[in-house]
Amino acid sequence: MPILEVQDLSVSFVQYTKGLRQKKVQAITSLDITMHEGEILAVVGSSGSGKSLLAHAILGILPSNARVSGTINYSGDELTPVRQASLRGREIALVPQSVNYLDPLMSVGAQVRTSVHNDNPVEVQKKIFERYHLDPDLDKKYPFQLSGGMARRTLVSMAMVSGAKLIIADEPTPGLDSIVIKEALSNFRELADHGCAVMMITHDLGSALQIADKIAIFYAGTTVEVAPVKDFFGRGEKLRHPYTKALWRALPQNEFVPIPGSQPLPNTLPSGCLFEPRCETATRECSLKQPKIQEIRGGMVRCIHAT
């Protein structure tokens, strides 16, 4: 049974423009994702593709003006707002993208200790401080006294000690030095090898391929492909979606050619396939309606021409 199953998730925002006129911003459209225990799934997509919103939808921390539809199941049962509140920080932990999520009024050590649920908080906090090269003196300091890197290491520590079964790490490593990044990534691998499911959100396909088992490619608020890491080789012959192939070929170690054009904005989405305006292999049919996600060769893809 999957630990997490997101089906047909859509998230939109109503914005008021001049004269109280309403405008709908469709940030996530019909998004599907499945995760299993012991698995690291990397969610890869460019800025604005909906990665953080997916994380916030799973944790139940979307802003109040968000309109949500679709279902999210955790361990076989629906994640209702009540369940989200009771599982948050315990069974489901977030490493947030912004360091502003630290509580400004609580000392750093206390924040890490309150994240420990199944063990001795004082000992666990000491150990994790050592592991992430956080000075013992930081215990009594407050978030505003930390550098950006220290704050980020604190956030990663909090998820690591939580004992969560599902960890969602939203861009956990920017600004960290390479030793700490390696430590954090090997920690995620260790947790996954002990049965935890880890969702690793990043815009960097190259680093995602180094640690994940599966890659979900996001584009303009939906999953265009979910592929096992082993499919990323050569010229991308095994990949299923034109956007995934283009991203793979755009890596510096491959052809290093950028993809022309840009991702559509949430308030001007095309009515057909969201990638159609930039797709070299698009046909007229592609512009008519958004293709459904389908299973092909052990992966998922949203393209009518995929084989």
**CB closer to Ni ion, 44 vs 146:** 44
Other residues' Cβ atoms within 10 Å of the Cβ of residue 133: 13
210: which 2 tokens? 């180094």
Q: Which residue is nearest to Ni ion (CB)?
A: 52
8 A C-beta contact, residue 208 and residue 215: yes
| Contacting ligand ATP within 231-290 (CB under 6 A) | 266
Q: Does 45 bind ligand ATP (CB under 6 A)?
A: yes
How far is 94 from 113, CA to CA, in rounded Å?
16
Query: Of 224, 254, 241, which is closest to residue 282 (Cα–Cα)?
Result: 241
Select the residue interacting with Ni ion from 52, 162, 187, 202 (CB under 5 A): 52
**Which residue matches tokens 């190259």?**
206
Contact 77, 83 (CB under 8 A): yes
CA torsion, points 237, 50, 57, 41, in degrees to nearest 10?
Answer: 30
Q: Which does 206 bind (CB under 5 to 8 A by kind): Ni ion, ligand ATP, none?
A: none
- Interacting span for ligand ATP (CB under 6 A) from 41-49, 145-153, 185-193, 226-234: 41-49
- Part in contact with ligand ATP (CB under 6 A); list of ranges 48-56, 181-189, 240-248, 252-260: 48-56
Q: How many CB atoms lie within 10 A of CB 147?
A: 10
Q: Where are the alpha helices (DSSP H) in 166-305?
A: 178-193, 205-211, 242-249
Could you say which of 27, 40, 150, 198 contacts ligand ATP (CB under 6 A)?
27
49 makes contact with ligand ATP (CB under 6 A): yes
Tell me the closest approach of the beta carbon of residue 56 to ligand ATP, in angstroms.
8
Q: Which of 13, 38, 207, 305 binds ligand ATP (CB under 6 A)?
A: 13
Q: Which parts of this chain interact with ligand ATP (CB under 6 A)? A: 13, 25, 27, 45, 47-53, 63, 97, 203, 266
Q: Which parts of this chain interact with Ni ion (CB under 5 A)? A: 51-52, 97
